Amino acid sequence: MRLLDTTTLKLHEFFGSEIPYYAILSHRWGADEVTFQDLQQGRGPTMAGWAKIVGCSAQARKEGWEYAWIDSCCIDKSSSAELSEAINSMFQWYRNSQVCYAYLVDVPTEEEDHWGEGSAFRMSEWFTRGWTLQELLAPDAVFFFNRGWAEIGTRRTFSKLIASITSIHEHFLEGGFKAASVAQKFSWASKRRTLRVEDTAYCLMGLFRVHMPLIYGEGNDAFTRLQLEIMKISDDDSLFAW
């Protein structure tokens, strides 16, 4: 697992029991994100996505975390083997984090009534993405930040609000999601979207505790493979109802 030093903003690689405590970032990808190659070649500070890396690192450092994990720059996506391993491990990486920072770039610094009908928090695209479903549920602690990196609440304090936005019951938001049926989990994901068709299946692997190879280009067959993998480990008939 590759982690970012929150002071030097350099990458370090760790294995097995050597992995230190770390904070983890949940965010929507935007234009000009800093990739692994950008960071290695020193282009990061010139890119729009650099502010997000600096903001996450500063917050983690302030809370005493020496390392952080950010998907945009901690995975070498030019390696198909590394990308496959990362996606198959990602749910557990979020699960094992000490804290998750959910950065909502579309929530302005001046908004105060996040509970209000039509608030930027309610309408944030973070709640519409496929990958952020596991990032909402897996960590023990999730803290929400607005565009200016000001903390606006936690998964616990916002549980009723998040339940109304996502249709995920509060019990499942606070660690009880393992007891949810297969059909319930699929329903949570049904209104979310991913950029690539295959990711509609790949982003759910951790939630169902299954692993499978990535085959970009297979289209909707990825979702069929996901269902077959779930059938191998579960006798939950709600899969067929779904």
- Token readout for 184 is 């319930």
Give residue 11's Cα distance to chain centre: 20
Those residues whose C-beta lies under 8 Å from the C-beta of residue 103, and which sit 6 or more positions away, are 25, 26, 27, 52, 55, 56, 145, 149
Q: What is the rounded distance in angstroms from the CA atom of residue 108 to the CA atom of residue 111?
A: 6
* pLDDT confidence of residue 242: 56
Give the global pTM.
0.94
Q: What is the rounded distance in angstroms from the CA atom of residue 221 to the CA atom of residue 131?
A: 19
φ/ψ (deg, to 5) at 32:
65, 40
- At position 171, the amino acid (one-letter code) is H
Give residue 102's Cα distance to chain centre: 8
pLDDT tens digits for 134-192?
999 999 999 999 999 999 999 999 999 999 999 999 999 988 898 899 999 999 999 89
CB atoms within 10 A of CB 205: 21
pLDDT tens digits for 96-118?
999 999 999 999 999 989 999 99
Question: Taking CA 208 as the corner, what is the angle to CA 207 and CA 209, rounded to the nearest 5 degrees?
Answer: 95
- Residue spans of the domains in the chain: they are 2-179, 181-241
Name the DSSP class of 126: G
